[in-house]
Amino acid sequence: MTDEAVTINPEQGETAKSQENQLQFLSFSLGREEYGVDILRVQEIRSWEPVSRIPNVPSYEKGVVNLRGAIVPIIDLRERFQLGHSQYTALTVVVVLQVRIEERTRIMGVVVDSVSDVINIDRKNIQTAPDFGAKVSTQFITGLAAVGGRMVMLLDVDKLLSLDGVSDEYDSSNK
Amino acid sequence: MAIDMAQFHQVFFEESFEGLDAMESGLLNMDIGDVDAEDINTIFRAAHSIKGGSGTFGFTAVSDFTHVMETLLDEMRDGRRKVTQPAVDVLLGSVDCLRDMLQSIRDGGQVDQSVVSAHKLALDSELRNSANGANGSSALEPLPSVSPITPADDGAELEICGWSIAFSPHLNLLKTGNEPVRMLRELAGLGELTTTVDLQGVPSLYDLDPEECHLSWKLHVAGNISAAEIDEIFDWVEDDCDLAKQPIYKTEMPLQALQSEGTLSANDVNTSAAPVNKPTEENVAGAEIQPQDAKAPKKEEAKAAGKGSSSIRVDTGKIDTLINMVGELVITQSMLSLLGEHFEMNKLDQLKNGLSQLERHTRELQESVMNIRMLPISFVFSRFPRLAHDISTKLGKKIELKLVGENTEVDKTVVELLSDPLVHLVRNSLDHGIEMPEVRIAAGKPETGTVTLEAYHRGGNIVIEVSDDGKGLDKDKLRAKAIEKGLIDADAVLSEKQTYELIFMPGFSTAEKLTDISGRGVGMDVVRRNIQALGGDIEILSELGKGSTISIHLPLTLAILDGQSIAVGDETYILPLGSIIESLHVKEERINRVVGKGETFLLRGQYLPIIRIHEIFNVPGAKTTKLTEGLIVVVEGQGVRCGLFVDDLLGQQQVVIKSLEANYRRVEGISGATILGDGSVALILDIPGLVRLSSQ
């Protein structure tokens, strides 16, 4: 659709297009890989602090912390992506994200190795993630982008953090 | 009008609904035959203030309606009329109608005129009955004296060409600041006015008090004038005069009434005034059928908006305590800041003192703030006498409703969410539980069935019990029904408790015949779901032929909990203090194993299962795995007792309950989380959940 508009009205279309097609991502690293999340979903960036463990949940759900009175779960992305476990240090970073699940906004924190940069990516430079079949799950990767020769995997926050059973409360209230 | 009256509407509606509740309970408490004058007075006052308020705000339909009720009540109050059951029933019906009217006005909807006029008719005929009652022929049936209504219905098509008005002010009319001449002048403004003054009442000059009004008038206004226009003129003096108005129609209508106006009391006046109002109202209703449909969705919106801004009425005493406490808090705070300015070590004791004061005040303040949200459960209970009255009349049963512990206080949210489930339960008891009088007598029970509603505190919970001495639940029947509906297998083994719980399954109803009161099989499952949504639990006890008891356990408040911190390995958990029975060290010889695995211990002759928190929560760093070295906390939740094996007890404190689900999800065995003094998060244990977890 936009391409059509561009051909009809190249002059004005170019500027409008560049604004509307520029997306901003916060990039962070996990091991040697680099990931990006939509910057509008990032609420704040904090340093790691001890969590209260939640019993009987997957090990990548590290526990909950008190974020100014709200109880916020912390998810370890390295463990979520099965990239092995790393020691938490004072330099370990927690990115607090706003997640929209079933029309409700939830606040969740993800543990990453380090936050790199805010990057601008043109929409047309985003490639779809290749399908690796069952070998690698790519369902929460919206696309791949090349930034300065590095590959950044762009994450779909909502899909990534709809943990098993997060929407259970709706089911249980209907039981 | 310069002042925006709408800002007072909210208050008016609140007060009116309160007034209606007062009227309702007054009417229900009234002992027919031996009526307490004070009761009638209360009802009358409520009706009167609703009338006054609605008149002020221009809700004429309401004030007209209330006026008729008030007239009836006024006669009862003066002893001119006997209080009869039919009269009370008519009044009760009118209270309902009035409530509907007020609700639809508040929500911006349309009043169902046909219902209103039906009630008004009933009131009118009740009023007319009085005349007969006074003559000695106390006929219960409303006499076929509906006659004034019938010509009025025809009259709806007739054009009014004038009014005959009999206006006789009471002596004190002038003292209330009203001037008859002004009213006559306004009447003259409506149309050509002929007046005949009656000087008969005027005393001799010697006895005359210049501040008393002894004159009365017969007036005749010509022109097509609506009843409302006339009413408006006499609006302020309605209670201070006898007023009779009669329309004159263009076609020759027999004008029966007016000869007798000299003896007409205010009540009879209304009877003759009513038919005038009625057709006009009906015309209005007829004309607005079109817009009514269009407005329907709007009404819903208005309702939703109205729900959003809920308010709460607080006892001024509670607010005074609160203000006192804030005052003390400020004093403590200034003392502490003074101390901090020039602090030396020798003032350490003072500082400690101040801090402990601060702690006490904060706690007290917190308690009284929580208290503001607490309402007595009578807010819910008060509607049940009416329900019992209506249902027993309808079904021909004799039922006595007992309310116990109405002053038990519960959080406002709980009160609001509790009312629907309770209505359902009470209805079930009244409809299905209590048998017909013949059946009861045959079964050797008193003819009158008893339904008891009881509320009391137990631990950190409030318990509400609905019990009846009716026929009870039939276990075999329940079972057969469940099998028939495919809810359980034919060979399923169920305990007594499990059998009773079948009635909470969706789509389950044992009533052989559906009534409009209950028994559609939607309900008990909804009731249980609502109660569980509040964090509560529901239980049934029943004995065939003796009756059943349904008890609801609810947390007192949804926000704060008395907690006991416990240490388990490296972690701290909170146990609701109310669920703890005791804590103890067990001796080796009291520990037994069931089938080599499940551990139990003997406590005063009872074998209790032991749940090792370390194991079910996989807590690292447990101090000990030997039961004899740790501590056993005996807890009870939803009727289940067990011993929790923990490392140590830490301290007691009030904790603010935070939801885990808000950003995370439900976790089995955990009911919520809280933030400890050091800012870290501690999880609150859920005993029934723990029991479920350990049995997996």
Looking at residue A22, its pLDDT comes to: 85
What are the residue boundaries of the structural domains of chain A, listed by start? Answer: 22-129+137-162
State mean pLDDT over B292-318.
54
* Best mutation target, A59, A71, A162, to test chain B (most B CBs within 10 A): A71
Looking at residue B65, its pLDDT comes to: 84
How many other CB atoms sit within 10 Å of the CB of residue B152?
A: 18
How far is the C-alpha of B183 from the C-alpha of B280, rounded, in Å? 24
- A161 Cα to chain B: minimum distance (Å): 10
CATH class of the domain defined by B149-273: alpha beta
Q: Check CB contact under 8 Å for A56 and B666.
A: no
For chain A, give the percent of residues with pLDDT over 90.
23
Name the catalytic one among B70, B75, B261, B454: B70
- A43 Cα to chain B: minimum distance (Å): 14
Looking at residue A37, its pLDDT comes to: 93
How far is the C-alpha of B131 from the C-alpha of B133, rounded, in Å? 5
Name the pLDDT band for B694 (thresholds 50, 70, 90): confident
Q: Which of B658, B664, B696 is CA-nearest to residue B680? A: B658
A72 vs B contacts (CB less than 8 Å): 663-664
State mean pLDDT over B591-617.
84
B257-266: b or e for each residue (b if 16 or more CB lie within 10 Å)?
Answer: bbeebeebeb
Q: Check CB contact under 8 Å for B669 and A65.
A: no
Domain covering A22-129+137-162, topology: OB fold (Dihydrolipoamide Acetyltransferase, E2P) (2.40.50)
Contact B472, B548 (CB under 8 A): yes
Residue type at position A100: R
How far is the C-alpha of B76 from the C-alpha of B41, rounded, in Å? 9
Looking at residue B400, its pLDDT comes to: 87
Q: How many residues does chain A have?
A: 175
Least confident of B30-39, B56-65, B341-350, B369-378: B30-39
Name the pLDDT band for B362 (thresholds 50, 70, 90): confident
N-to-C CA span, chain A: 45
- B365 Cα to chain A: minimum distance (Å): 20
Q: Check CB contact under 8 Å for B662 and A172.
A: no
Name the pLDDT band for A8 (thresholds 50, 70, 90): very low
Is the pLDDT at B289 greater than 60? The verdict is no
- B678 Cα to chain A: minimum distance (Å): 10
A52 vs B contacts (CB less than 8 Å): 571, 673, 680-683
In chain B, the residue whose alpha carbon lies closest to the alpha carbon of A64 is B681
Name the pLDDT band for B683 (thresholds 50, 70, 90): very high
Q: Which residues contact B17 (CB under 8 A, 6 or more apart)?
A: B99, B102
Looking at residue B460, its pLDDT comes to: 61
Is the pLDDT at B373 greater than 50? The verdict is yes
What are the residue boundaries of the structural domains of chain B, listed by start? Answer: 6-135, 149-273, 316-372, 376-555, 560-695
A56 vs B contacts (CB less than 8 Å): 616-618, 667-669, 693
Contact A12, A2 (CB under 8 A): no
- Residue B216 CA, chain-centre distance (Å), reads 47
State mean pLDDT over B539-551.
86
Chain segment B568-595, per-residue pLDDT in tens: 888 899 998 878 889 988 888 888 887 7
CATH 3.40.50.1100 at B6-135, yes or no:
no
For the question of residue B435 being annotated catalytic, the response is no
- pTM of the shown model: 0.47
Angle value at C-alpha B556, between B554 and B560, nearest 5 degrees: 125
CATH superfamily of this structure's domain B560-695: CheA-289, Domain 4 (2.40.50.180)
- B677 Cα to chain A: minimum distance (Å): 11
For the question of residue B48 being annotated catalytic, the response is yes
- Crossing angle (nearest 10°) for helices B227-234 and B266-287: 130
Of B663, B665, B683, nearest to A72 by CB-CB distance is B663
Q: Which of B12, B9, B20, B15 is CA-nearest to residue B42? A: B20
The contact set of A with B (CB < 8 A) is 50-57, 63-66, 69-73, 106-108, 163, 165-169, 172-175
DSSP 8-class letter at B429:
I
ipTM: 0.79
Q: Check CB contact under 8 Å for A50 and B669.
A: no
Is the pLDDT at B264 greater than 70? The verdict is no
A174 vs B contacts (CB less than 8 Å): 529
Of A53, A56, A64, nearest to B664 by CB-CB distance is A64
How far is the C-alpha of B55 from the C-alpha of B35, rounded, in Å? 30
- The more confident residue out of B601 and B298 is B601
CATH number of B376-555, picked from 3.30.420.10, 3.40.1190.20, 3.40.50.300, 3.30.565.10 = 3.30.565.10
Looking at residue A164, its pLDDT comes to: 58
Looking at residue A72, its pLDDT comes to: 92
Name the pLDDT band for B209 (thresholds 50, 70, 90): confident
Of A64, A106, A107, nearest to B673 by CB-CB distance is A64
Contact B125, B321 (CB under 8 A): no
Chain segment B655-679, per-residue pLDDT in tens: 888 878 778 888 888 888 888 878 8
Tokens 């509040």: give the residue: B534
Q: Which residues contact B113 (CB under 8 A, 6 or more apart)?
A: B281, B282, B284, B285
For the question of residue B629 being annotated catalytic, the response is no
Is the pLDDT at B253 greater than 70? The verdict is no
Is the pLDDT at A32 greater than 60? The verdict is yes
Looking at residue B371, its pLDDT comes to: 77
Is the pLDDT at B505 greater than 80? The verdict is no
Name the pLDDT band for A39 (thresholds 50, 70, 90): very high
Q: Which of B51, B58, B134, B160 is CA-nearest to residue B98? A: B51
Phi, psi of A110 (to 5 degrees): -120, 140
- Residue B588 CA, chain-centre distance (Å), reads 56
Chain segment A51-100, per-residue pLDDT in tens: 999 988 888 889 999 888 789 999 998 888 888 877 888 788 999 999 88
Contact B372, B318 (CB under 8 A): yes
Name the pLDDT band for B18 (thresholds 50, 70, 90): confident
Name the pLDDT band for B130 (thresholds 50, 70, 90): low
DSSP 8-class letter at B587:
P
Looking at residue B679, its pLDDT comes to: 81
Q: Check CB contact under 8 Å for B658 and A69.
A: yes
Chain segment B145-161, per-residue pLDDT in tens: 333 333 334 444 456 77
Q: Check CB contact under 8 Å for B667 and A72.
A: no
- Helix (H) / strand (E) element for B169: namely strand B160-169
Chain segment B99-128, per-residue pLDDT in tens: 888 888 888 777 777 778 888 888 888 777
Is the pLDDT at A109 greater than 90? The verdict is yes
Give DSSP secondary structure letters for B435-495: PPHHHHHHTTS-SSEEEEEEEEEETTEEEEEEEE-S----HHHHHHHHHHTTSS-TT----
Name the pLDDT band for B165 (thresholds 50, 70, 90): confident
Angle value at C-alpha B502, between B498 and B503, nearest 5 degrees: 135
Mean pLDDT of the residues in chain B: 76
* Best mutation target, A54, A57, A172, A175, to test chain B (most B CBs within 10 A): A54
B542-568: b or e for each residue (b if 16 or more CB lie within 10 Å)?
Answer: beeeebbbbebbbbbbbebbbbbbbbb
Name the pLDDT band for B682 (thresholds 50, 70, 90): very high
In chain A, the residue whose alpha carbon lies closest to the alpha carbon of B532 is A173
* Best mutation target, B534, B664, B671, to test chain A (most A CBs within 10 A): B664
A65 vs B contacts (CB less than 8 Å): 681
Looking at residue B155, its pLDDT comes to: 40
User: B473: number of CA atoms within 13 Å, CB side?
Assistant: 24
Of A51, A53, A163, nearest to B665 by CB-CB distance is A163
Residue B247's DSSP bridge partners are: B163
B590 is written with which tokens?
Answer: 């009291």
How far is the C-alpha of B230 from the C-alpha of B233, rounded, in Å? 5
N-to-C CA span, chain B: 72
Same fold for the pair B149-273 and B376-555: no
- A133 Cα to chain B: minimum distance (Å): 30
State mean pLDDT over B512-534.
63
